[in-house]
């Protein structure tokens, strides 16, 4: 498996291309992602969203229509794909698959597991492929997602952090902003963040 990363837009939101078994999965195509994605894929099979905030989904519509591939979005965040209180000009997109909670999907013969961690937003998820996770805006290196936005929920974030602490295996985490980290490292940090509530 090969992972390509490119920060996009004003918020430097990480867009990822996962190359595996001769296929490519696009994760979180943000503002201006289309030219970079098009230059780096030959056999794309799906677009995945970790959550619905505009800086992670801006290029959903353009890439979906250009590449004619399905879009997968956590169900709780589907309303955010058509209306953004942060960025009114968001190009609206419609998922082909609304992912329900913790769900494992077969996408072109590749096992993709969504782990639901609401708090930052209702559908916020980490996406597990092979031995890595794409943590979106739930977990960052030494930090967690904000929970003071519209649609955020502090109680949900607390429950999500407790749930995350119980994942029994190690993974490299590729977050929505910044550099990669590991699940075990952020599990060790979880109690610090829980004391902040």
Residue-wise pLDDT for 105-127, tens only, equals 999 999 999 999 999 999 999 99
Confidence of residue 189 (pLDDT cuts 50, 70, 90): very high
List the CATH number of the domain containing 131. Answer: 3.60.15.10
Q: Give the pLDDT confidence score for residue 188 in this predicted structure.
A: 97
**Could you give the percent of the chain with pLDDT greater than 90?**
94
Tell me, what's the pLDDT at 86?
A: 67
**84, pLDDT greater than 80:** no
For the stretch 162-171, pLDDT in tens is: 999 999 999 9
Q: Is the pTM of this model over 0.95?
A: yes
What DSSP assignment string belongs to the chain?
A: -EEEEEEETTTTEEEEEEEETTEEEEE---TT-HHHHHHH-SSEEEEE-SS--HHHHTTHHHHHHHHT--EEEEGGGGGGGT--SS-TTPPP---SEEE-SSEEEEETTEEEEEEE--SSSTT-EEEEETTEEEEETTEETTEE----STT--HHHHHHHHHHHHT--S--EEEESSS--EEHHHHHHHHHHHHTT-
How many separate domains does the chain show? 1
Range of the domain at 36: 2-194
């Amino acid at each position: 498996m090969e992972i390509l990363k490119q920060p996009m837009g004003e918020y430097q939101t990480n867009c990822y291309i996962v190359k595996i078994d001769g296929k490519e999965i696009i994760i979180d195509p943000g503002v201006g992602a289309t030219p970079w994605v098009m230059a780096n894929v030959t056999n794309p099979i799906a677009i995945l969203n970790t959550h619905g905030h505009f800086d992670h989904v801006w290029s959903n519509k353009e890439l979906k229509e250009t590449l004619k591939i399905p879009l997968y979005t956590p169900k709780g965040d589907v309303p955010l794909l058509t209306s953004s209180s942060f960025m009114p000009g968001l190009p609206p997109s419609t998922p082909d698959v609304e992912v329900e909670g913790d769900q494992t999907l077969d996408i072109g013969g590749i096992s993709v597991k969504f782990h639901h961690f609401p708090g930052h937003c209702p559908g916020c998820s980490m996406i597990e492929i092979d031995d890595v996770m794409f943590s979106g805006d739930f977990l960052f290196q030494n930090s967690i997602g904000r929970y003071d936005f519209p649609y955020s929920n502090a109680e949900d974030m607390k429950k999500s952090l407790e749930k995350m602490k119980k994942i029994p295996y190690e993974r490299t985490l590729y977050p929505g902003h910044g550099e990669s980290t590991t699940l075990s490292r952020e599990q060790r940090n979880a109690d610090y963040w829980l004391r902040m509530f």
